[in-house]
Protein backbone atom coordinates (compact mmCIF):
# COMPACT_ATOMS: atom_id res chain seq x y z
CA UNK A 1 0.00 0.00 0.00
CA UNK A 2 1.35 3.43 -0.89
CA UNK A 3 -0.11 5.30 2.07
CA UNK A 4 1.86 4.56 5.24
CA UNK A 5 -0.81 3.77 7.85
CA UNK A 6 -1.15 1.88 11.07
CA UNK A 7 -3.47 -1.13 11.25
CA UNK A 8 -6.06 0.77 13.31
CA UNK A 9 -5.95 4.06 11.36
CA UNK A 10 -8.93 5.01 9.21
CA UNK A 11 -8.31 6.89 5.98
CA UNK A 12 -10.79 9.54 4.89
CA UNK A 13 -11.34 10.99 1.44
CA UNK A 14 -8.86 13.80 2.06
CA UNK A 15 -6.18 11.25 2.92
CA UNK A 16 -6.60 9.48 -0.41
CA UNK A 17 -5.74 12.55 -2.49
CA UNK A 18 -2.02 11.90 -1.95
CA UNK A 19 -2.43 8.44 -3.53
CA UNK A 20 -3.92 9.68 -6.81
CA UNK A 21 -2.21 7.98 -9.78
CA UNK A 22 0.00 5.79 -7.56
CA UNK A 23 -0.23 2.09 -8.35
CA UNK A 24 -0.80 0.05 -5.20
CA UNK A 25 0.04 -3.65 -5.15
CA UNK A 26 -2.69 -5.85 -3.67
CA UNK A 27 -0.88 -9.15 -3.32
CA UNK A 28 -1.61 -12.44 -5.04
CA UNK A 29 -4.11 -15.28 -5.00
CA UNK A 30 -3.66 -18.80 -6.41
CA UNK A 31 -6.63 -20.38 -8.19
CA UNK A 32 -7.27 -24.10 -7.71
CA UNK A 33 -9.50 -26.40 -9.73
CA UNK A 34 -11.46 -27.10 -6.56
CA UNK A 35 -12.14 -23.39 -6.01
CA UNK A 36 -13.19 -22.92 -9.64
CA UNK A 37 -15.65 -25.80 -9.52
CA UNK A 38 -16.95 -24.89 -6.04
CA UNK A 39 -17.58 -21.25 -6.95
CA UNK A 40 -19.20 -22.22 -10.23
CA UNK A 41 -21.51 -24.79 -8.65
CA UNK A 42 -22.94 -22.07 -6.45
CA UNK A 43 -22.86 -18.99 -8.70
CA UNK A 44 -22.14 -19.80 -12.36
CA UNK A 45 -22.79 -23.46 -13.18
CA UNK A 46 -21.87 -23.38 -16.86
CA UNK A 47 -20.19 -26.47 -18.32
CA UNK A 48 -16.94 -24.57 -18.97
CA UNK A 49 -16.66 -23.99 -15.20
CA UNK A 50 -17.93 -27.29 -13.81
CA UNK A 51 -17.46 -29.72 -16.71
CA UNK A 52 -14.63 -30.35 -19.14
CA UNK A 53 -13.97 -26.70 -20.02
CA UNK A 54 -15.50 -26.82 -23.50
CA UNK A 55 -13.26 -25.34 -26.19
CA UNK A 56 -10.64 -24.50 -23.52
CA UNK A 57 -10.08 -28.27 -23.03
CA UNK A 58 -9.84 -27.74 -19.27
CA UNK A 59 -11.97 -26.09 -16.63
CA UNK A 60 -11.83 -22.27 -16.60
CA UNK A 61 -12.74 -19.83 -13.82
CA UNK A 62 -15.93 -17.81 -14.03
CA UNK A 63 -15.51 -14.11 -14.70
CA UNK A 64 -17.55 -13.56 -11.55
CA UNK A 65 -14.95 -15.48 -9.56
CA UNK A 66 -12.12 -13.57 -11.21
CA UNK A 67 -13.75 -10.28 -10.24
CA UNK A 68 -14.35 -11.61 -6.72
CA UNK A 69 -10.63 -12.39 -6.41
CA UNK A 70 -9.79 -8.82 -7.42
CA UNK A 71 -12.30 -7.40 -4.94
CA UNK A 72 -11.00 -9.57 -2.10
CA UNK A 73 -7.41 -8.50 -2.74
CA UNK A 74 -8.44 -4.82 -2.98
CA UNK A 75 -10.43 -4.91 0.25
CA UNK A 76 -7.88 -6.88 2.26
CA UNK A 77 -4.94 -4.71 1.15
CA UNK A 78 -6.33 -1.21 0.73
CA UNK A 79 -10.06 -0.49 0.91
CA UNK A 80 -10.63 -1.92 4.41
CA UNK A 81 -8.65 1.03 5.78
CA UNK A 82 -10.94 3.58 4.11
CA UNK A 83 -13.98 5.16 5.80
CA UNK A 84 -16.27 3.63 3.17
CA UNK A 85 -19.89 4.76 3.03
CA UNK A 86 -20.94 2.51 0.13
CA UNK A 87 -20.01 1.39 -3.34
CA UNK A 88 -21.44 3.46 -6.18
CA UNK A 89 -20.59 1.67 -9.42
CA UNK A 90 -18.61 -1.01 -11.17
CA UNK A 91 -18.00 -0.26 -14.82
CA UNK A 92 -15.66 -1.06 -17.63
CA UNK A 93 -15.19 -4.58 -16.32
CA UNK A 94 -13.12 -6.42 -18.91
CA UNK A 95 -11.78 -9.97 -19.06
CA UNK A 96 -8.72 -10.34 -21.27
CA UNK A 97 -7.81 -14.01 -20.92
CA UNK A 98 -9.14 -17.09 -19.18
CA UNK A 99 -8.07 -18.10 -15.68
CA UNK A 100 -7.09 -21.75 -15.31
CA UNK A 101 -6.34 -23.94 -12.30
CA UNK A 102 -2.84 -23.17 -11.05
CA UNK A 103 -2.89 -19.55 -12.19
CA UNK A 104 -1.65 -17.01 -9.66
CA UNK A 105 -3.42 -13.67 -9.93
CA UNK A 106 -1.76 -10.47 -8.70
CA UNK A 107 -3.82 -7.35 -8.16
CA UNK A 108 -3.13 -3.64 -8.55
CA UNK A 109 -5.28 -0.62 -7.67
CA UNK A 110 -4.94 3.04 -8.61
CA UNK A 111 -6.97 5.90 -7.14
CA UNK A 112 -7.78 8.14 -10.11
CA UNK A 113 -9.86 10.88 -8.51
CA UNK A 114 -11.35 12.04 -5.23
CA UNK A 115 -14.38 14.22 -5.96
CA UNK A 116 -16.24 16.01 -3.13
CA UNK A 117 -19.96 15.18 -2.96
CA UNK A 118 -21.05 17.52 -0.20
CA UNK A 119 -19.67 18.02 3.30
CA UNK A 120 -19.96 14.41 4.42
CA UNK A 121 -18.47 12.33 1.61
CA UNK A 122 -16.46 12.17 -1.58
CA UNK A 123 -16.58 9.89 -4.58
CA UNK A 124 -13.36 7.94 -5.06
CA UNK A 125 -12.83 6.67 -8.60
CA UNK A 126 -10.33 3.88 -8.95
CA UNK A 127 -9.09 1.43 -11.53
CA UNK A 128 -7.91 -2.05 -10.82
CA UNK A 129 -6.37 -4.94 -12.63
CA UNK A 130 -5.32 -8.53 -12.20
CA UNK A 131 -2.29 -10.02 -13.93
CA UNK A 132 -1.50 -13.70 -14.12
CA UNK A 133 1.83 -15.32 -13.20
CA UNK A 134 3.15 -14.48 -16.69
CA UNK A 135 2.41 -10.76 -16.11
CA UNK A 136 -0.40 -10.96 -18.65
CA UNK A 137 -3.48 -8.81 -18.05
CA UNK A 138 -6.48 -10.91 -16.98
CA UNK A 139 -8.99 -8.33 -15.72
CA UNK A 140 -9.42 -4.56 -15.62
CA UNK A 141 -12.15 -2.60 -13.89
CA UNK A 142 -13.15 0.94 -12.98
CA UNK A 143 -15.28 1.50 -9.94
CA UNK A 144 -16.50 4.29 -7.71
CA UNK A 145 -16.89 4.24 -3.94
CA UNK A 146 -18.22 6.85 -1.56
CA UNK A 147 -15.77 7.58 1.27
CA UNK A 148 -16.44 9.80 4.28
CA UNK A 149 -14.77 13.18 4.59
CA UNK A 150 -12.98 13.89 7.82
CA UNK A 151 -15.35 15.56 10.31
CA UNK A 152 -14.94 19.35 10.37
Task: Return the CATH number at 110.
Answer: 3.10.129.10
HSE at residue 16, side-chain half, CA atoms within 13 A, is 32
pLDDT for residue 5: 52
Q: In the chain, what are the helix, strand and coil shares in percent, each to the nearest 5?
A: 30, 40, 35
Distance CA 36, CA 102 (A): 10
Range of the domain at 123: 13-31+61-148
pLDDT for residue 119: 86
Give 2's pLDDT tier (boundaries 50, 70, 90). Answer: very low
User: For the segment 73-130, what is each residue's pLDDT rounded down to a tens digit?
Assistant: 999 999 999 999 999 999 999 999 999 999 999 999 999 999 998 889 999 999 999 9
pLDDT value at 135 more than 80: yes
User: For the segment 38-58, what is each residue's pLDDT rounded down to a tens digit?
Assistant: 999 999 999 999 998 889 999
Residue 46 resides in a domain: no
Q: How many domains does the chain have?
A: 1
Residue 141 resides in a domain: yes
Distance CA 47, CA 108 (A): 30
Residue 21 resides in a domain: yes
Is residue 144 within 8 Å of residue 87, measured between CB atoms? yes
Residue 42 resides in a domain: no
Residue 5 resides in a domain: no
Torsion of CA 25, 27, 28, 34, to 10 degrees: -130
pLDDT value at 37 more than 60: yes
pTM of this structure: 0.91
Distance CA 123, CA 67 (A): 21
Residue 89 resides in a domain: yes
pLDDT for residue 9: 86
User: For the segment 16-29, what is each residue's pLDDT rounded down to a tens digit?
Assistant: 999 999 999 999 99
Residue 92 resides in a domain: yes
Residue 38 resides in a domain: no
Query: ∠ CA(45), CA(144), CA(103), 5° rounding?
Result: 40
Amino acid sequence: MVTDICEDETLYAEDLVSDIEKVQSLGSYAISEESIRGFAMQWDPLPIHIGDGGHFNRVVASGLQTFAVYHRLAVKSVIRYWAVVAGRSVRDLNFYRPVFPGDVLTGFLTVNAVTPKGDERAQVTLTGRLDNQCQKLVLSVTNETYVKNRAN
